Homo-oligomer: A and B are copies of this chain.
């Protein structure tokens, strides 16, 4: 293969030099490395405090407790759904911002679940042992899933306030059981206007310098009262300075740094392009949909944000994968590892075929990927109504079975989150459903072809628009209807003639066999290969590395530091005054009135550091993570990475990859002098709980 160096090393991934790389589990943090470089080593108690003070937003973000009364700081874009769900045509909190002047005004978010990690235990022997000696296939799948479900059920002991997940680390090299405390009563306390939370919009997204106040405050409740949270982060009086050691604890969603070349090639040639084509087209359509009227914008804006954010992030990933430098480094690393394995007969026997097994699994999936996408994954039914119908159908069916025989997503450990979504009071908008379903059904016909039996089954001789018009007559908008069906169980759902339930039934007849094929044939082959590759790496390289991210709590270390771009130094800080310089008065560079007013009244100290960047190793899912110093004091709030961080899925380039955060000083400055949110400021500064959180009770 002739691979000329086309990219003059645009992105050089430091696979060898580890720098500040790593998304470490709390039970395997490299304190010595940190000591060597930064002359500070966190001890066990320090790590435990940091872990217990951090939370995961189960929907896909991170946060941290910032008071003993359950107050949680996260990003605006992490509470975006909640803010939108609480809004109406008359009162749009996304545009206007939200502030509960007292505890009574804090409003429940329909779908936020918080998880606080309280215990980690190693269950590798138990999970791997369940499939010992088994070939990939049905029994392998059944035994493995059963072992996981059983471990999880035993751990939670039927208590919905606990959440236990078996976490697959090192692609199956290690299985850990994570026990979380679960909070499902979470209320919105404060959010600024979208215009400043996401100042610069899509053009500035993933860029630095940056000027965003991407913050929101929510509060965990228990028994209708603010939760007592003894572990929380305190505020740093000084904030971060250039060169300071910084820690970030959060939940990086996923990385692919340890994938095989076969898997990477699949991503480069099939998965990523397909996803980007989809996102690009949907983005075009959604931009026009939201431009139709202010109400269409209000309803569709969160999806647009999600689509544009995903598109930019995945485009960055794709660009990293087509960088020959990265590709060749990875290929060489795999080649060298396989050569080592094949060089020792004992290793060769155990692990030699592992890479080929993974490649076979990928090759097996590839030709059916589009069918899987539309039939099992439901990409043509791009709508919350469909997801509800599907969960009602499958959930009530799966609940007939013992916990350990169910599909993973319907095991006891996952039911509380499922039910929260299923019975959510969040509004669903018929016109928006109609748009999305028409769009999705058209793509379904396009990608599978008009003559595909599944397409014929779903559309018949009708147009996608006609089918969508029927579907939106569903009664599943109403959470009470859903709850009745759920309570009625399988029989009630099977008897339902709701059009969306009917669709789910129609689909499931084809989807179930596909899912079975995927889980039993593809997944077990890939898992069995990946577990052996991980074992080979442990045997040859030891366990000094961190596992790929899995949307579970991790800790990273780094320092406040700028970077060189096009031969120029990008300084690590911006100031609040900089936002006014960048503003054009036109969306997305239009500052909200509150800021303009405060500035006119000279209430803002323009020299206050606004955003800053650090060398911490993060990725999507880390949004809302605290940035804290060695005294575990908050110096910032992670909300993004710079443009060079987008290849971080595959590797970490210490010279360019940066975490982007809101500075702690700007947070206080804005809360205090722009929003007059004195009670939050007091709570952050550690005023007694009674006078802040429950002040007015």
A5 to B363, CA, bound (A): 7
Known: A6-B265, A261-B4, A273-B273. A462 touches B584 (CB 8 A): yes
Chain B residues near A1: list those with CB within 8 A: 1, 3, 261, 328, 331
A260 to B288, CA, bound (A): 41
A282 to B285, CA, bound (A): 8
**Closest residue of B by beta carbon distance from A7:** B366
Q: B-facing mask of A14-51, CB < 8 A → 1, else 0?
A: 00000000000000000000000000000000000000
Nearest CB on B from A477, distance (A): 24
Q: Which residue of B6, B269, B462 contacts A366 across the interface (Cβ within 8 Å)?
A: B6
A445 to B331, CA, bound (A): 36
A309 to B471, CA, bound (A): 30
A283 at the interface (CB under 8 A from B): yes
A556 to B4, CA, bound (A): 35
Chain B residues near A359: list those with CB within 8 A: 2, 4, 6
A481 at the interface (CB under 8 A from B): no
**Closest residue of B by beta carbon distance from A274:** B315
A461 at the interface (CB under 8 A from B): yes
Chain B residues near A277: list those with CB within 8 A: 276-277, 280, 315
Q: Which A294-351 residues have a C-beta within 8 angstroms of B? A: 315, 318, 322, 328, 331, 334-335
Interface residues on A, range: 35 or more
Q: Are B203 and A449 in contact (CB under 8 A)?
A: yes
A334 to B4, CA, bound (A): 13
Q: Are A204 and B450 in contact (CB under 8 A)?
A: yes
A445 to B204, CA, bound (A): 10
Q: Are B203 and A446 in contact (CB under 8 A)?
A: yes
A262 to B7, CA, bound (A): 11
A5 to B586, CA, bound (A): 51
Q: Which residue of B2, B202, B287, B322 contacts A285 across the interface (Cβ within 8 Å)?
A: B287
Q: Are B200 and A6 in contact (CB under 8 A)?
A: no
Q: B-facing mask of A376-398, CB < 8 A → 1, else 0?
A: 00000000000000000000000
A270 at the interface (CB under 8 A from B): yes
Known: A281-B281, A284-B282, A318-B273. A367 touches B449 (CB 8 A): no
Chain B residues near A446: list those with CB within 8 A: 202-203
Chain B residues near A7: list those with CB within 8 A: 363, 366-367
Known: A2-B334, A6-B266. A463 touches B202 (CB 8 A): no
Chain B residues near A331: list those with CB within 8 A: 1-2
Nearest CB on B from A352, distance (A): 14
**Closest residue of B by beta carbon distance from A265:** B6
Q: B-facing mask of A192-235, CB < 8 A → 1, else 0?
A: 00000000101110010000000000000000000000000000
A665 at the interface (CB under 8 A from B): no
Known: A2-B355, A4-B363. A284 touches B288 (CB 8 A): yes
A160 to B331, CA, bound (A): 58
Chain B residues near A470: list those with CB within 8 A: none
Chain B residues near A315: list those with CB within 8 A: 277
Nearest CB on B from A325, distance (A): 13
A58 at the interface (CB under 8 A from B): no
A41 to B29, CA, bound (A): 78
Nearest CB on B from A450, distance (A): 4
Q: B-facing mask of A118-142, CB < 8 A → 1, else 0?
A: 0000000000000000000000000
**Closest residue of B by beta carbon distance from A438:** B291
A261 to B2, CA, bound (A): 7
A366 to B502, CA, bound (A): 51
Nearest CB on B from A177, distance (A): 34
Q: Are B262 and A322 in contact (CB under 8 A)?
A: no
Chain B residues near A288: list those with CB within 8 A: 284-285, 288-289
Nearest CB on B from A294, distance (A): 16
Q: Are A262 and B4 in contact (CB under 8 A)?
A: yes
Q: B-facing mask of A94-137, CB < 8 A → 1, else 0?
A: 00000000000000000000000000000000000000000000
Q: Are B200 and A362 in contact (CB under 8 A)?
A: no
A8 at the interface (CB under 8 A from B): yes
A282 to B281, CA, bound (A): 7
A605 at the interface (CB under 8 A from B): no
Q: B-facing mask of A445-463, CB < 8 A → 1, else 0?
A: 1100110000000000111
A288 to B359, CA, bound (A): 41
Can you list 26 A-B contacts with CB-CB less than 8 angstroms, sorted by A residue number? A1-B3, A1-B328, A1-B331, A2-B260, A2-B331, A3-B261, A4-B356, A4-B362, A5-B363, A6-B363, A8-B363, A8-B367, A200-B450, A203-B446, A203-B450, A207-B449, A273-B273, A273-B318, A273-B322, A277-B280, A277-B315, A280-B284, A284-B285, A461-B584, A463-B587, A466-B586
Q: A2-B355, A280-B281 are in contact. List 20 more A-B contacts (CB 8 A).
A: A2-B261, A2-B331, A3-B261, A4-B262, A4-B356, A4-B362, A6-B262, A6-B270, A8-B367, A203-B450, A204-B450, A269-B322, A270-B322, A273-B276, A277-B315, A450-B589, A461-B584, A461-B585, A462-B586, A466-B586
Q: What 8 A-B pairs have minimum CB-CB distances, sorted nearest first?
A: A284-B284, A288-B288, A284-B285, A4-B359, A269-B322, A280-B280, A463-B586, A280-B281
- What residues make up the interface of A, taking CB atoms closer than 8 Å to B? 1-8, 10, 200, 202-204, 207, 260-262, 265-266, 269-270, 273, 276-278, 280-289, 315, 318, 322, 328, 331, 334-335, 355-356, 359-360, 362-363, 366-367, 445-446, 449-450, 461-463, 466, 584-587, 589
